[in-house]
Amino acid sequence: MRRTAAAIVEGGRRIRSNVIASLVSTHALYGGVVPEIASREHLERIGEIVDRALADASIGLDEVDGIAVTYGPGLVGALLVGLSYAKSLAYAKRLPLIGINHIEGHVFSVVFDNESIAYPAVALIVSGGHTSLFLIPEPERYLLLGRTRDDAAGEAYDKVAKLLGLGYPGGPVIDRLAPTGDPSRAPLVFTVPQMRDDTLDFSFSGLKTAVLRFVRENSIEPVAEGSSPSQIVRDVAASFQQQAVRVLHARLRAAVRLHGPRTILLAGGVACNTALRDAVDELGRVSRVPVFKPSPILTTDNAAMIAAAGYPKLLRGERSSLSLNADPTLRLTGVRA
């Protein structure tokens, strides 16, 4: 919920406009997202963002066929702002309203830069709030293979970056520093957790604890504001990223082996991480399965992916009631494959 966004998408695949207003600079002052501030900033900016999206696409509201909007999961205050605004527009202009699961939006973020998805597909969705692995046997049908049991991957990046004094958000800065460090000089006592119930769930709490222990045992000082990171901090960043990508890659590799997909999908904010993208591309080459991932601008929260997810539902005549409410804990599926 670090961005306010609106987009115009034609035919489910052509982006006419995609306006994204980042709230990261505000939340960086607090080292993370502050829900009340996020809601207030969404409220202050949403009208302007929608107007810009329409202007950039050179159309008016009368030319819009329907409105897709995220209604969960996420921060309830921020969700309510977007949902209330969308419902108001839908009511005033008598337009179809389609509520979209934010995670499904990330799945659809790949449609703009790739060919049509061949099914079954396996999708790894990795962001600051979510880390989930799905089997998609056919379009818009999702079977859960695994999800995080503690921190999401992006959240772990943020917490490690804060520990090292690297600022917020942590993902981009650690990804930038990791190639300048030597992971062997900061060995983290950590192994990919084996779940007792044989699921493909993720866990990042052990890795986060390993970083904390290493920092304390080696008396590593966090980076002072305005200073360049020391070599040992760079080494820790490299080691953490190596292990985090290892966890994600291991679960995805197991899913590919078990389910034999025809397409591998990688999406979500952490999908712009260079090490993860490279690892998944290599998995695709070894497995001889095409890998679909969005361009970096579409890995972050955006409205184009929500519109894309709404398009097939619009064509089928699906509609959401104006009584639709925000659901901060909404799941894409409760069924495990």
pLDDT at 239: 96
pLDDT at 26: 57
SS (H, E, C) the chain: CCEEEEEEEECCCEEEEEEEEECHHHHHCCCCCCHHHHHHHHHHHHHHHHHHHHHHHCCCHHHCCCEEEEEECCCHHHHHHHHHHHHHHHHHHCCCEEEEEHHHHHHHHHHHCCCCCCCCEEEEEECCCCEEEEEEEECCEEEEEEEECCCCHHHHHHHHHHHHCCCCCHHHHHHHHHHHCCHHHCCCCCCCCCCCCCCCCECCHHHHHHHHHHHHHCCCCCCCCCCCCCHHHHHHHHHHHHHHHHHHHHHHHHHHHHHCCCEEEEECHHHHCHHHHHHHHHHHHHHCCCEECCCHHHHCCCHHHHHHHHHHHHHHCCCCCCCCCCCCCCCCCCCEC
Domains of the chain plus CATH, in order, are: 3-107+298-316 (3.30.420.40), 118-293 (3.30.420.40)
pLDDT at 28: 57
pLDDT at 23: 63
pLDDT tens for 126-157 read 987 889 999 999 999 999 999 999 888 999 99
For the chain, list residues with pLDDT below 50. Answer: none
pLDDT at 163: 95
pTM of the model: 0.92
